Amino acid sequence: MTTFDDVLPSAIGTLAATADIATLETIVVVRDVTGCVRLVVHPRPTGASPDFDSLQGRMAKALGGYFKPPIFSTAMQGERGRLARTVLERSLPWPDGWPTQYTDPVTNGTVSLPAECLRAVQRVLSKEVWLSRSAGPPWPLAPGKTPRVISFYSFKGGVGRSTIVGLVARRLARAGHRVTVLDLDLEAPGASVLLDAMTPRGQGILDFVVDHIATGSAELTDLHAPPQALPPEESRRVEVFPAGRLDWGYLEKLGRLDFASGDADTNQESPVETALRSLLKLVRDRLSPDFILIDSRAGLHDLAGLSLHALSHVDVLVSRGGPQAMAGLRLTIEALARRRKITDWSCIVVHTFVPTPIEGAVAKAERDEFKEQVYSFFEEHIYARGTEDTPDREDPTAWHFPMIVPELTELARARTIRDIPESVVDSEAFTRLTDHLIELCEPDEDEEA
C-alpha cells in the first residue's frame, strides 16, 4: 500500500524511468490538501512528449489512490491547455525537502530528476507558515530603529516560557526601556495572567483579530493595560495586550478564527497574519515601545509559526531536556533554517528546569547533553547554510550555546510575577538573558537594511 511518505519519491521514480521524459521542459507536481498528486507538464519546443496515457497508468500503479488523472499539458488546446498554463505560471520552485530521487527498495538502484525541471503547487489547510512561506518581520531590524520584536517559543508547554517573558519585560523596564507584551497564546493565555493585566472591558488580541478579519478595523482602544504585578515605576513602562477575557464569548470568537493558510499562488498572507502585522504596526506607531515581546503558542501551531517566521526579529527558543522536547526543538530549528534568511534572523536557546545546584554533577550531565544535542541541530541545519565558520561548541555568544534557567521553587509556585523574589529577578540567569537579548537587537551599522 502506498502511504503519504511514499508518494513523492514514487512519483519521481516513475517520471525518471519514463521514456522521452527529457522532452518535457517543466513538470509541475500539484499536491492537494489530501496529499493526492496531479501532474501538469510543459513540453520543450520540439513538440514531442511522452505517451501520457501510458504515463498515467504507471503513475496510478505506483501511487495508487494518491494519483489523480488526467495529466494536463500546456500544449493542449482549449480549457485544459489554459488551465495547464495558469498552473505553470503560479507554480513555485521545488520545495526544499521534497525528494528529487527514488531508490528502489528491491534493487537499491537510484533514479533522479534535476530539481530545475521540477515545479510545485502545494495546497494545505494550515501550517503554511511552517511549510513554505516566511514573510519576515513587518519592518527591518536596523541600528537605532525600534521597536525590536522578540518571540518566545516552546515546542512543549509547561517549560516556563510565559514566566520568562514576564521577567524579561520587568528587567527591560527596570533598565529604562518601554516594553509591550503580546499574549499570543490565544488557546492557553499565560503572560497576561502572570503580569496581572486586564483591560477595562476584558478585550484583547483575539478581539482585535476577529474585528480586523470581519470589518478591516484596526483600533487599540481598550486592548492594552499596564501590568499590576510589577512595581509602579516599572509598570509605567510596560503595556500588556491580553489574549482576552476567558468566557463563553471568547470560545465563540476563537471558533471563528481562520488559521488556514494564505493563497500559495499569490503568496498572499492569511487573514490572521494580516491582522497581527497590522497590530504590530499600530503598537509601533501609537505606543512607541523599544521592545515588543510575543508570548507565542506552544507546539506546531499556526500562531507559533506566524510568531517565528513572520513577525519577529529575534526568537527565544525555550526547552527542557528530554527526548520529546529535544525532538521538537530539532524540528523547530530545521523549520527556521528552511524558512528564514540567516542574515536577517537571530535566536537564543534557553534550557529551563536545570537541576540545582547548577554546578552539581546531575546538572552538569544534563547541561552537557542538552548543549551537545543543540549544537548538532545548529551544525546540521543552520551553520551548514551560512557563509561564516562554524562557531566553537563552547562559544557562549553562539546561537547554539544555551542560556540556563535553573529549576527554582520560587518560579514553579509563583501565581504572578509579583510572587517572584527580587533575588530571582536579579539572578545571573535573567540578567544574562536580558543583556544578551539587548545585544542581539542592536545590529552593526553595516548590517542596516
Do 116 and 203 lie in one domain? The reply is: no
- Identify the CATH number of the domain in which residue 133 sits: 3.40.50.300
Q: What is the pLDDT of residue 448?
A: 46
pLDDT at 267: 55
Distance CA 132, CA 155 (A): 19
* pLDDT given at position 315: 95
H-type alpha helices, 136-270: 161-174, 191-194, 205-215, 232-235, 248-255
pLDDT value at 90 more than 70: yes
Confidence of residue 3 (pLDDT cuts 50, 70, 90): confident
Predicted local confidence at residue 269, as pLDDT: 76
Q: In terms of domains, do 194 and 162 share one?
A: yes
* Amino acid 130: pLDDT: 75
For 97, the domain range is: 4-123
Query: In the chain, what percentage of residues exceed pLDDT 90?
Result: 57
**109 and 143 part of one domain:** no
Alpha-helical regions (H) of 127-220:
128-131, 161-174, 191-194, 205-215
Mean pLDDT, rounded, for 32-56: 88
Q: Is the pLDDT of residue 276 over 90?
A: yes
204 in the same domain as 153: yes
User: What is residue 143's predicted lDDT score, i.e. its pLDDT?
Assistant: 78
Q: How confident is the model at residue 270 (pLDDT cuts 50, 70, 90)?
A: confident
Give yes or no: residues 119 and 234 share one domain.
no
Show which of 86, 104, 123 is a domain's final residue: 123
* Residues 334 and 222 grouped into a single domain: yes
Domain boundary among 78, 93, 123: 123
From residue 391, alpha-carbon distances to 124, 344, 379, 442 in Å are 37, 18, 9, 20
Residues facing residue 121 across a β-bridge = 30
Other C-beta atoms lying within 10 Å of the C-beta of residue 363: 17
Question: Based on the domain organization, do 288 and 364 belong to the same domain?
Answer: yes
Average pLDDT over residues 205-218: 88
Which among 123, 152, 182 is the end of a domain?
Answer: 123
14-18, 282-286, 443-447, range with greatest mean pLDDT: 282-286
Q: How many domains does the chain have?
A: 2
What local confidence, expressed as pLDDT, does residue 231 receive? Answer: 95
Dump pLDDT digits (tens) for 140-150. 888 777 899 99
Residue 125 has pLDDT above 80, yes or no: no
In this predicted structure, the answer to whether residue 263 has a pLDDT above a threshold of 70 is no
Look at residue 442 in the predicted model and tell me its pLDDT. 82
Looking at the structure, tell me whether residues 384 and 246 fall in a common domain: yes
207: which 3 cell numbers? Answer: 478581539
State residue 449's pLDDT score.
Answer: 42
Burial bucket for residue 21 (CB in 10 Å: 0-12, 13-18, 19+)? middle
Same domain, 296 and 373: yes
For the question of whether the overall pTM of this predicted structure is more than 0.85, the answer is no
Quickly count: other Cβ atoms within 10 Å of residue 138's Cβ.
Answer: 15
Question: What is the average pLDDT score of the chain?
Answer: 89
Q: Are residues 86 and 141 in the same domain?
A: no
Q: Are residues 88 and 21 in the same domain?
A: yes
* Residues in Cβ contact with 427 at an 8 Å cutoff, skipping those fewer than 6 apart: none
β-bridge pairing 179-183 and 118-122 = unpaired
Residue pLDDT, tens place only, 305-358:
888 888 999 999 999 998 989 999 999 999 888 888 777 788 999 999 999 999
The 10s digit of each residue's pLDDT in 354-394 is: 999 999 999 999 999 999 999 999 999 888 876 678 899 99
More confident residue, 106 or 159: 159
First to last CA, the chain: 51
Based on the fold, state whether residues 276 and 398 are members of the same structural domain. yes
Please give the pLDDT value at position 286: 95
